[in-house]
């Protein structure tokens, strides 16, 4: 789901990395299916690659930026031609110049319509990719993370319970097996350690 490309300086290993990624994706999907019952197997990656979606959205956003920029240039040219035509009409300018200006305005108007359609198409495509691919992928990612942390929490609780039980067993064995000789042998280093800690604090 989170496939990406790894690029190193002076080393092109993107093909090898993509091969490893595809192999890992297949192995992880099989492992997950084996870990769950058939009726509760998670559909990981069912909405496609997150990286691929982001790349396509970025491409369409770049196209949208270029189309808006081009449309702004056309609009400025159109406004200037309109002002030029207005001035010619007000001053009773040459008919040929007026006709040429009107023809230029008509061409600019057509180009503006095409530019607006391209802007609308790019915007619609970005919105569709966001709503139909990116949002479901993010929701799937968050759901997967929640499941992962729940499993880790359950594992942590089991490990903590085992550790606590082992500590109890060890303490019980130590209490039963400890003799007076052992107690004296351990109390002296403990006393020396406490004195050492006191000296350090008072230093």
Q: What is the CATH number of the domain that holds 64?
A: 1.20.58
Q: Give the list of residues 6+ apart from residue 47 with CB closer than 8 angstroms, or none.
A: 1, 133, 136, 137, 140
> Does residue 106 lie in a domain region?
yes
> Does residue 168 lie in a domain region?
no
Give the DSSP H or E segment for 53.
helix 50-91
- Give tens-digit pLDDT for 94-133: 888 888 989 999 999 999 999 999 999 999 999 999 999 9
pLDDT, residue 190, reads 75
> Does residue 175 lie in a domain region?
no
> Does residue 138 lie in a domain region?
yes
> Does residue 176 lie in a domain region?
no
> Does residue 28 lie in a domain region?
no
% of the chain residues with pLDDT over 70: 67
One pLDDT digit (tens) per residue for the chain, 203 residues: 555 443 333 444 444 434 434 443 444 444 444 444 444 444 555 667 888 899 999 999 999 999 999 999 999 999 999 998 888 888 877 888 888 989 999 999 999 999 999 999 999 999 999 999 999 999 988 998 999 999 999 988 888 888 888 777 666 655 555 566 666 666 777 777 777 777 777 76
d(CA 92, CA 77): 22
For the chain, what is the mean pLDDT? Answer: 76
Question: In terms of residue numbers, what domain contains 127?
Answer: 46-146
Query: Is-contact 45 29, C-beta < 8 A?
Result: yes
| Total domains in the fold of the chain | 1
> Does residue 170 lie in a domain region?
no
The pTM score is 0.54
> Does residue 121 lie in a domain region?
yes
d(CA 75, CA 111): 10
Q: Give the list of residues 6+ apart from residue 78 with CB closer than 8 angstroms, or none.
A: 105, 108, 109, 112
């Amino acid at each position: 789901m989170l496939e990406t490309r790894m690029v190193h300086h002076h080393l092109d290993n993107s093909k090898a990395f993509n091969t490893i990624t595809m192999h890992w994706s297949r192995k992880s999907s099989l492992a997950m299916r084996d870990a769950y019952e058939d009726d509760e197997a998670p559909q990981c990656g069912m909405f496609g690659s997150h990286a691929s979606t982001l790349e396509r959205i970025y491409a369409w956003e770049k196209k949208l930026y270029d189309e808006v920029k081009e449309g702004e240039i056309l609009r400025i040219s159109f406004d200037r031609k309109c002002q030029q035509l207005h001035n010619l009409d007000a001053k009773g300018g040459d008919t040929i110049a007026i006709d040429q200006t009107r023809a230029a305005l008509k061409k600019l108007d057509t180009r503006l319509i095409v530019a607006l359609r391209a802007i609308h198409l790019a915007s619609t495509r970005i919105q569709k990719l966001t709503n139909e691919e990116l949002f479901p992928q993010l929701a799937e990612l968050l759901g997967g993370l929640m499941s992962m942390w729940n499993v880790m929490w359950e594992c942590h609780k089991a490990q903590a319970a085992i550790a606590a039980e082992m500590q109890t067993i060890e303490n019980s064995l130590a209490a039963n097996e400890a003799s007076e000789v052992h107690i004296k042998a351990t109390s002296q280093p403990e006393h020396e350690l406490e004195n050492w800690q006191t000296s350090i604090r008072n230093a």
